Amino acid sequence: MILQRIGELLFPSKCVLCRSVLAKEEADLCHECRKEISDFSKPKRSIPFLASWTALWYYNGSVRKSLLRYKFSGRRSYAGPYGRLLAMKLLREYPMGFDILTWTPISRLRRFKRGYDQVELLAQAVARELDMEATQTLVKIRNNPPQSGITGHAERRANVLCVYRAVEPERFRGKRVLLLDDIITSGATASEAARVLLTAGAAEVTCAAVAASDNEQKNKPNSR
């Protein structure tokens, strides 16, 4: 109890978006961010091979900065708050739930360099909240250049083509799959992952991400 109190004093919980110290009654997000940061509303466009998709926030401002800290500055603890908030949204939007929960993996090389797969951590956090397991269904078999350096939809699509291979398809054959990703920009990555899962026998694939841009040209794209 005393140790916990000292821990709280030394490492106070901070808002995952603006990093202000949270008050006692606040969790994950401060009141200000809960008020100011707009939730991602219904997607304006469909993404090939996805039955539907959703996200928690728009990919800009403090959301973008938060995700960059999560991916590149070792803030792996953000998986908890992201996962809790995303799971709440999924429960509201998809009351029927899913049969299996999985994620778009990063390459082994990138995972080795970063020390963690940020999307796998997110999938585990969402799975905990939904009382499911995060099941690996894909491996990345080609270390493609980051999507961030590539402009143009056809080019982004080509860059992710055949980067994934399905593993143990008997685990998801005929099932409704929830595919977790961190950011959806053009949707090319999620679309390619869904294509591979459907080809391997999945009944349908829905993608959920922490953030998405509904206008692929405007925002700085995903860098994986």
Supply the minimum distance, in Å, between the C-beta of residue 26 and Zn ion.
9
Q: For residue 175, how many C-alpha atoms fall within 13 Å in the half-sphere facing its CB? A: 18
Q: Does 22 bind Zn ion (CB under 5 A)?
A: no
Q: Which of 13, 18, 89, 111 binds Zn ion (CB under 5 A)?
A: 18
Please say whether the dihedral angle defined by the alpha carbons of residues 92, 98, 101 and 104, taken in this order, is positive or negative.
Answer: negative
Q: Please, what is the minimum distance in Å from the beta carbon of residue 195 to Zn ion? A: 37
- Residue 177 lies near Zn ion (rule: CB under 5 A): no
- Separation of alpha carbons 100 and 205, rounded Å: 10
Q: Is 33 in the site for Zn ion (CB under 5 A)?
A: yes
Q: List the structure tokens of 14.
A: 């901070």
**Long-range CB contact pairs, 37-42, < 8 A, 24+:** 37/61, 37/62, 37/63, 39/89, 40/211, 40/212, 40/214
Among 3, 6, 12, 17, binds Zn ion (CB under 5 A): 17
Beta-strand relationship, 164-166 and 100-103: unpaired
**Quick one: 16 or 79, whose CB is closer to Zn ion?**
16
What is the closest distance, in whole angstroms, from the C-beta atom of residue 31 to Zn ion in the complex? 8
CB 101 within 8 A of CB 127: yes
User: Which CB atom, from 65 or from 110, has the smaller least distance to Zn ion?
Assistant: 65
Compute the least distance from the CB of residue 78 to Zn ion, in Å: 13
Counting contacts by CB under 5 A, is residue 125 touching Zn ion?
A: no
Q: Does 30 bind Zn ion (CB under 5 A)?
A: yes
